Structure 1
Amino acid sequence: MAVHGISGWLLNFSSTYIRHVTCLSPIGFLQARNYAARKGTREKARKKKVKVVVQKLGFMAHKERKAVFSDKRNKAKQGNIILDDSKKPDPLDNVWIGQFHKWKIYSFEEAIQSHREIHHPTMYNLPNALLNAFIELDMQGSKKTKFVPAFTRIACVPHSFDHGQSRKILAFCKSPEVQQIARTAGAQYAGGKELIKQIQSGEFSLKEYDIILSEPSILPDLLLIRGLMRKNFPSTKLGTLSPDMNMLVTKFLTGIKYMAKPQNLLQSYGTIDVTFGTLDMDIKQLEENFIAIIKDVDAAKVRQSEPFITRIHILCPPTREKFKVNFEQYLPESSALKKEEEEEEDESEKPDVVIASH
């Protein structure tokens, strides 16, 4: 009796379940689905039917192919530019891998002596090799979306040397005496009002000259040809306007031209590679040239609160050896620090106030 009871219960349960799931029709049982199809199945099926056409590149030269691959590698290495090595551990031995440890900071004299040992006659045998300063810059502007653009300047160094740079100088002077001083100092051509008239008539071309200098007395007459000069128009901002023509010509004739270039992948990081002397020069002369270049670069900064120069290495080609130099001592004190020090001195000089208690 128990077996018949269980079988009856199962039959009754199955019949009620079928009534809910299926419905009767003259053809037979039809299954009624009460859920939607999975979303995106038709789109996936259409995408599978679409054939992917592989575009075949034509012939590419070896240099072009190499440039394409180098650009891809540079994009992958964008985040590997290290501006600060202060977080790296200190070396434990006297031999270490510079990539994974803090760089040793040399004094200027130690760096020069090290390069002189490398260029000894028993090694490279180049006692008059050129010394270069590789300067790393923080090109971030006043806003996060603005950066310092590439710029070119000429730094006046106190001790001249053969740096391999040649430039033609044109000087505008009012009196014949000053014109003779400019020619004696090294200017290729010097003239006054007659020269301005020749330029207006097209008899004299300004394209041959790299730098145009002037004294303030002839500046009103130069306004007539300002459109022809454009960016080379003499001004105090460019440093091409001064009453001392001898100093002005000597500065731009013996000065060192350098260019600050932001990196293609990281615009907030820029570099300058500039020559400041030769190995056979006196260390004091080299140091004075080095200080003059650092001060000239620091004068081009936009933000006064943040340091513009982040790191400096001294190199001496053809060797790849470079020495990190302590350059902060050569930087001029910022106006903000001076103001803070003056305010602290003023506060210390004020007399103490005594509050009477009743």
Structure 2
Amino acid sequence: MLLNRCHCLLPMLTENTLPYKALITVRNAARKGTRERKEKKKVKVVQEKVGFIPHNQRDKDKLLLNRPKLMFDDSDRETPVDNVFIMRKYKMIVYSFAEALQCHRETHHPDMYNKPNADVQIKIELNMVAEKKTRLLDNFTRMAPMPYKINHGEERAILAFAKDPEVQDAARNAGASLAGGVELIKEIQNGSLSLQDFQFVVAHPNILPELVSIRGIMKKKFPNPKNGTLSADMQASVTKYLNGVTYSAIRDEHEKDFGLIETVIGTLSMDATHLEENFVSLIRDVYEMKPKRQGTFISRCLMLSPPSREKFKINHSVYLPVEEVEEPREEEEEDVAEAAAA
């Protein structure tokens, strides 16, 4: 009877009549990353103190963005039709080597600069992209042979190794300071002969097995066929290192694909044909470093002669070998013919 009465009273009870209010629990997950953000806020960020920055180095990144590109390209400019024009709006005039040399000789005439014996400088701009587009060539230093001797401002001593007396005489006649065979190796081992007295060491291949015994003493001066110090033609090898010019190709710090070579090939007082042959030897030696890829490696050659600020672009391509272009196969020719007919 009591149970029935309770069932009857249940519909009459409401939320207001109950002695307590019902508790409603809501379970909502926090947003993703909330805990991480709170933990990061707790971590104190330590600001590094920046020291004094010179005025010429402030806002360096902004200055680099506004800097003109070193890799020169004027292919989109018009060709000048007159002999007087605004240089920055037209293509740079390309001179032959003889024409550029004559222009410098005129400016160094006694009536103007009065420097008839000024140096002839060559600037070679390179595209340092390697075989893969994502790779770049490293800086390199080489010795370019000069057919005609120039004043380097230093006396070079060359040590030549060869077994045959005839080859030794040829090395001496070419200008080697000292030439010999196994007896020189023994003198170096005994300490009576110092390699520090010689800038370069050349050798004939037939004495290479005996030279291995002093390889640790010679270190970087050990003859190597790659740089021409180990060669069967001793006369040419000695002449190269006696009269040659050392040059270095250096990549730009910010424009990584741009490389520059600066060197001297002679003076204005030298014969024009001799200077041209020195230039040809230099440009061909640089071209040997070209990676196996399509496109240009030597982008521009300039001739300068201080104190004049004039620079003349030289047509260097006439001195380089012609690159062979792969001929299309027969299948490709048929496809091209069908496409043209369609």
Structure 2-normalised TM-score? 0.75
Query: In the alignment, does 2:210 pair up with 1:221?
Result: yes
Q: CA deviation at 1:58?
A: 4.8
Change (3 A) 1:208 1:46: same
Of residues 297, 311, 332 in structure 1, which corresponds to 2:300?
311
How far apart, in 1, do the equivalents of 2:308 and 2:246 lie? Answer: 23
Which residue number corresponds to residue 269 of structure 2?
A: 280
Calculate the aligned-residue CA RMSD, in Å.
3.8
Change (3 A) 1:74 1:224: farther
Contact 2:109–2:115 (8 Å) recurs in 1: yes
Which residue number corresponds to residue 137 of structure 2?
A: 148
Which residue number corresponds to residue 162 of structure 1?
A: 151
Contact 1:74–1:265 (8 Å) recurs in 2: no
Change (3 A) 1:246 1:114: same
Q: CA deviation at 1:205?
A: 3.4
The amino acid across from 2:316 in the alignment is F
How far apart, in 2, do the equivalents of 1:282 and 1:171 lie? Answer: 31
* SS of structure 1 residue aligned to 2:186: helix
Which residue number corresponds to residue 206 of structure 1?
A: 195
Which residue number corresponds to residue 254 of structure 1?
A: 243
Which residue number corresponds to residue 95 of structure 1?
A: 85
The amino acid across from 1:106 in the alignment is Y
Change (3 A) 1:228 1:205: same
In the TM superposition, what whole-angstrom CA distance separates every residue of 1:123-165 from its partner, at most 9, and x where no partner exists?
1110011111111111111112221111111111222222335
Which residue number corresponds to residue 32 of structure 1?
A: none
Which residue number corresponds to residue 238 of structure 1?
A: 227
How far apart, in 2, do the equivalents of 1:283 and 1:120 lie? Answer: 16
* SS of structure 2 residue aligned to 1:80: coil
Q: CA deviation at 1:115?
A: 0.6
Contact 2:125–2:301 (8 Å) recurs in 1: yes
Q: CA deviation at 1:118?
A: 1.0
Which residue number corresponds to residue 321 of structure 2?
A: 332
* SS of structure 1 residue aligned to 2:306: coil
Contact 1:152–1:258 (8 Å) recurs in 2: yes
Q: CA deviation at 1:76?
A: 2.8
In the TM superposition, what whole-angstrom CA distance separates every residue of 1:62-115 from its partner, at most 9, and x where no partner exists?
6xx64x4596466435672233211123446513133x4311111212111111
In the TM superposition, what whole-angstrom CA distance separates every residue of 1:36-65 from its partner, at most 9, and x where no partner exists?
9999999999999999877555567x6xx6
Change (3 A) 1:74 1:326: farther
Contact 1:78–1:266 (8 Å) recurs in 2: no
Query: In the alignment, does 2:109 pair up with 1:81?
Result: no
The amino acid across from 2:139 in the alignment is A
Percent identity over paired residues: 47
Which residue number corresponds to residue 172 of structure 1?
A: 161
Q: CA deviation at 1:291?
A: 1.1
Change (3 A) 1:73 1:240: farther
Q: Structure 2 unaligned runs (5+)?
A: 1-15, 17-28, 331-342
The amino acid across from 1:303 in the alignment is K
Contact 1:214–1:240 (8 Å) recurs in 2: yes
Change (3 A) 1:320 1:50: farther
How far apart, in 2, do the equivalents of 1:70 and 1:279 lie? Answer: 43
How far apart, in 2, do the equivalents of 1:295 and 1:275 lie? Answer: 15
Contact 2:131–2:293 (8 Å) recurs in 1: no
How far apart, in 1, do the equivalents of 2:255 and 2:247 lie? Answer: 20
The amino acid across from 2:277 in the alignment is E
Contact 1:163–1:277 (8 Å) recurs in 2: no
Change (3 A) 1:202 1:293: same
Contact 1:78–1:265 (8 Å) recurs in 2: no
Change (3 A) 1:304 1:297: same
The amino acid across from 1:80 in the alignment is K
How far apart, in 2, do the equivalents of 1:220 and 1:126 lie? Answer: 52
Which residue number corresponds to residue 175 of structure 2?
A: 186
Query: In the alignment, does 2:111 pair up with 1:119?
Result: no
Of residues 90, 111, 124 in structure 2, which corresponds to 1:135?
124
Q: CA deviation at 1:116?
A: 0.9
Contact 2:124–2:260 (8 Å) recurs in 1: yes
Moved more, 149-158 or 73-82: 73-82
Contact 2:126–2:260 (8 Å) recurs in 1: yes
How far apart, in 2, do the equivalents of 1:140 and 1:87 lie? Answer: 22
